Amino acid sequence: MIQVTRLDNTLMVVNVEMIRSFRSTPDTVITFTTNDKMMVKEPVKEISKRILAYQRAIHSGGHHLYGI
């Protein structure tokens, strides 16, 4: 799970496993496997870093929430 900030400044925790793709349009749009979309404030590079950190922690046995 990673934390992201929606455009209205609310925080949301997102299940990384449900993300299909994300892109900059220029706002970052996350597309989920359900085809739902969410616009967030974090740039694509930051989302990528959070996902990578989350996956590394999961594979090393750690359980953390990234992006806080």
pLDDT in tens, 2-57: 999 999 999 999 999 999 999 999 999 999 999 999 999 999 999 999 999 999 98
Per-position b or e across 30-60, b if 16+ CB within 10 A of its CB: bebeeeeebebebebeebeebbeebeeeeee
Q: φ, ψ for residue 65 (rounded to 5)?
A: -105, 120
pLDDT at 64: 59
- Quick check: 61 pLDDT over 80? no
pLDDT at 38: 98
pLDDT at 8: 98
Tell me the pTM: 0.85
Tokens of 22: 């994300």
pLDDT at 21: 98
